[in-house]
Amino acid sequence: DIQMTQSPSSLSASVGDRVTITCRASQSITKFLSWYQQKPGKAPKLLIYAASNLQSGVPSRFSGSGSGTDFTLTISSLQPEDLATYFCQQTDKAPYTFGQGTKLEIK
């Protein structure tokens, strides 16, 4: 199975900050990477697919980049409603695997 490793596991930032979360795959997945946002008590929500494509309806402050084994999710200006846990997921090869999550807290 392809292992996905996220960092950091948690972070605290202020409203308006630029936030970056990284994800590394154990082997190349080209651009087959998705990012999800999960708010407390809710199901995950797709934010980014194919590494850099914004899912319909997702605010433009979210962006993704990377290819091969290294990827990043960036929130350009953190908003209070961005309090959540963020997961990366490889969609290159089944079984599709997820990172362990990054818990984002608002200072």
Interface with another protein by CB under 8 A: which residues?
32, 34, 36, 42-46, 49-50, 55, 87, 89, 91-92, 94-101
Supply φ then ψ for residue 98, to 5 degrees. Answer: -115, 155
Nearest CB to another protein, comparing residues 16 and 94: 94
Closest approach of another protein to the CB of residue 107, in Å: 25
Nearest CB to another protein, comparing residues 69 and 97: 97
Asked if residue 11 lies in contact with residue 104, where contact means CB atoms within 8 angstroms, the answer is yes
Give the integer Cα–Cα distance in Å for 90 and 99. Answer: 9
Nearest CB to another protein, comparing residues 66 and 78: 66
For the chain, percent helix, then strand, then coil, each to nearest 5? 5, 50, 45
Closest approach of another protein to the CB of residue 77, in Å: 26
